[in-house]
Chains A and B, each alone.
Chain A
């Protein structure tokens, strides 16, 4: 069974005071998230990640399209009994202690008292906030609130967990804890659907990701596959290469930067690397390092944004009659 399935899910927000105009927050999103996988929703700020989660949880309503969560329609409130949700920058009730809040969350799921107590104790312990259980939430740091937020998302032992930027506000230790927790959930057969703009988190955790940008799906699949679509390069650092060798290498390099005795070359074609490496060894140059540089999510978005801007500018340049093509 699919954990989440969206069909042309679209959300427009209306902005402006006197003349309201639609702003596309999400544009015809089609996703299929398999049960038991860790699925990452990636994208820069304003990409539509939080909107997607809010749509799936009925906090906002779709302008068009529909979705199914755990095989049920979004209007079916009963579906929420099997779902957990951590909102972005969670804020809870100042006057409640962590224990009271989790107990309240458990009550809303209709858990009996003894079961609530057991789960609250276990989750507070698991998320490292057991010692602060009697403190009011207004005294909690952002990181501690995030941990309580994760705990309330898991109080019902959900089949599917939605986490909106779960690492936000956490220190490195906290991030590791949450990563371990997400993997633990997967180990128990749960589906984790989380949004992030931090590539390393997604790389470490996700079975599959969807990349959103300005409300549009840019790609969906394994992160490695998606990012491999972009151009990777190899960084080669040599010490004391001769002038002749440098001239030959430069012909295959995108950039050559000399710093003291060292020269850093960026080789765009992966197939050129063995040939250039052999040449350098033959001519007696010392090879300091050789690094294949993968495209980062930032590079990916930058490349896509530039492509979009270029396309738009190209269109503008073409549209007026008799206009000359844009010079690069």
Chain B
């Protein structure tokens, strides 16, 4: 456990020293700030615009951070051979993968916290006040974090399998497809072809369903996320991440470092 924490802390330190991270945070904060301007030209729905744009910015830039840093987590260590000096110590390969995963997750949690703080600052600027009702935005932020947890899991898995570039492509593709799984299943049902219907059904159950985590519009209209959705999405993310990381560990256990 201590070794996992140590690798996670080191991964966090490595991530926060990446320049790309700060560029993305600055862009995200700029976009959240710009949402105030968009809001000011949308009479009556300023708040909705700000929540929509602000949370989308957190989601998109967080996703970019998860992909750009996540894809190099394992493959860079192998490429640069820094892994030799780690795995020659009493470190299990599973501990290495778990440490890497939690390290990046910690980075994403802290960055999301910074971006969320920026969002609330923008909201305060617009409304000149903050109410308890504004806290429902945190439910959407929580779902965004669950999505990041899944994306990092995917990035770590692909990072164990292939090069950073291909890992990025695969992770991004799965993310995009995962956002449209409901539409893909509907398309399969509409075609009337049993083969396509089965294929789309397999995709629907196999790939992570990111669409279910998108509650930005819901909270933008001031509606609470239902409790059952909070619970089911949390369990779903936990189960899916466990599967992804277990697969990554299985692959990594067999990997040779020539």
Contacts and interface: CB of A to CB of B under 8 A. Distances in A.
B90 A93 contact: no
The range of chain A's interface size is: 20 to 34
Contact of B90 (A54, A77, A92, A100): A77
Given A54-B257, A91-B80, A83 B6 contact: no
A83 B85 contact: no
B82 interface: yes
27 contacts: A54-B84, A58-B87, A59-B87, A59-B88, A59-B256, A60-B256, A61-B256, A77-B91, A77-B92, A80-B88, A80-B90, A81-B90, A87-B81, A87-B85, A90-B85, A91-B81, A92-B82, A93-B10, A95-B13, A104-B6, A107-B2, A108-B3, A108-B7, A108-B91, A110-B2, A110-B90, A162-B88
A7 interface: no
A61 B256 CA distance: 7
Contact of A93 (B3, B82, B84, B88): B82
A104 B10 contact: yes
B128 interface: no
Contacts, number: 77
Given A13-B258, A93-B14, A95-B14, A108 B89 contact: yes
A175 to B, nearest CB: 21
A152 interface: yes
Interface centre among A54, A93, A100, A105 (most CB of B within 10 A): A93
Interface string A253-281: 00000000000000000000000000000
Given A77-B92, A90-B85, A91-B82, 20 more contacts: A54-B84, A57-B84, A59-B84, A59-B87, A59-B88, A60-B257, A90-B81, A91-B81, A92-B85, A93-B10, A96-B13, A107-B2, A107-B3, A108-B86, A108-B90, A108-B91, A109-B90, A110-B3, A110-B90, A162-B88
A136 to B, nearest CB: 9
Contacts of B257: 54, 59-60
A108 B6 contact: yes
Interface string B218-258: 00000000000000000000000000000000000000111
Interface in B6-37: 6-7, 10, 13-14, 17
Interface in B80-115: 80-82, 84-92
A110 B6 CA distance: 9
A236 to B, nearest CB: 49
A83 B256 contact: no
A110 B258 CA distance: 27
Given A78-B90, A110-B3, A152 B85 contact: yes
